[in-house]
Amino acid sequence: MSKAFKLSVIAASLLAAAPIANAYEAGDFIGRAGAATVDPDSSSSNLRTSLPGLEVVDGAQVSVDKDTQLGLTLTYMMTDQIGLGVLAATPFKHDIKGDGAALSGTGKLAETKHLPPTVTVQFFPMPSGSKFQPYAGLGVNYTNFFEEKTTQTLTDTLDGAAQAVLGTPAGTVDRTDIKLDDSFGLAGELGFDYLITDNLGVNATVWWIDIDTDADIGVYAADGSKITTGKLDVEIDPWVYMVGLTYKF
């Protein structure tokens, strides 16, 4: 038996006996951080009020623009292939703009911030030793809206509508405010991790989140009395994209 053959047999035996390093296994925590963009696929109902002649304002709709913030996710591996994932982020800020035939082109009417904590059960189909780990998840989202504000543009637009339809004097509408209801909805995700070292890797993930909210717009006169409350049903339903780094604990 040649020396080279003996060495190759010994090397093969050592490799066979060596433990296989698991990329992911039960009990691991996988943290991810990166740039997360919330890109709404938004639409809304027509504006409704309690004022005669303005019960439904045809074409008075809104849309919601996108924003990018720091995204953070954490997965706990319950088994080698099933994980529990949590999505968090720094607060997203969105402009609410006029849309539809009546409000398109009016610009920014309001703004809001929101936090979208999302919990998903994730499935990792690859063997635990694979450095490439695609995954899919399904779960629920809770979206909390806060720091909602309207603009003078909205106040002026509603004052103009009241003048045109109801014949009120200019300046009847003195100020406005807005409140968005929090939302519960389904969420789905697709993503992958690729480990460059035993612990550090790269990640890309996309979510679709069902976010629907009711917007109540308070309309006030100069003396502080409420003239009416405008209502809109808003479907935000964003795609959320995140690219960043992965670290396995």
What confidence tens digit (pLDDT) does each residue in 197-212 have? 999 999 999 999 999 9
Considering only CA atoms, which of 109, 111, 108 is closest in space to residue 158?
Answer: 109
pLDDT band for position 96 (50/70/90)?
very high
* Cβ–Cβ under 8 Å, residues 20 and 129: yes
- pLDDT above 70: residue 6: no
Q: Give the global pTM.
A: 0.85
Instruction: Please give the pLDDT value at position 155.
Output: 95
- pLDDT tens per residue, range 109-152: 999 999 999 999 999 999 988 999 999 999 999 999 999 999 99
- pLDDT above 60: residue 1: no
Mean pLDDT of 230-235: 96
Q: What percent of the chain has pLDDT over 70?
A: 91
Instruction: Please give the pLDDT value at position 12.
Output: 42
- pLDDT above 90: residue 167: no
pLDDT band for position 230 (50/70/90)?
very high
Q: CA dist 150 to 9, 45, 112, 115, 218, Å?
A: 76, 18, 9, 19, 10
- pLDDT above 60: residue 87: yes
Residue 119: CA atoms inside 13 Å, Cβ hemisphere, count? 4
Instruction: Please give the pLDDT value at position 5.
Output: 45
Q: What is the sign of the dihedral through the CA atoms of 241, 245, 246 and 249?
A: negative
Considering only CA atoms, which of 143, 242, 240 is closest in space to residue 185?
Answer: 143
Mean pLDDT of 223-245: 96
Give me the chain's average pLDDT, please.
91
What is the biggest distance separating any 2 CA atoms in the chain, rounded to whole angstroms? 107
- pLDDT tens per residue, range 7-55: 344 334 433 433 445 689 999 999 999 999 999 999 999 999 988 888 9
Which domains, and CATH codes, for the chain? Answer: 3-248 (2.40.160.20)
Instruction: Please give the pLDDT value at position 10.
Output: 37
Instruction: Please give the pLDDT value at position 13.
Output: 43
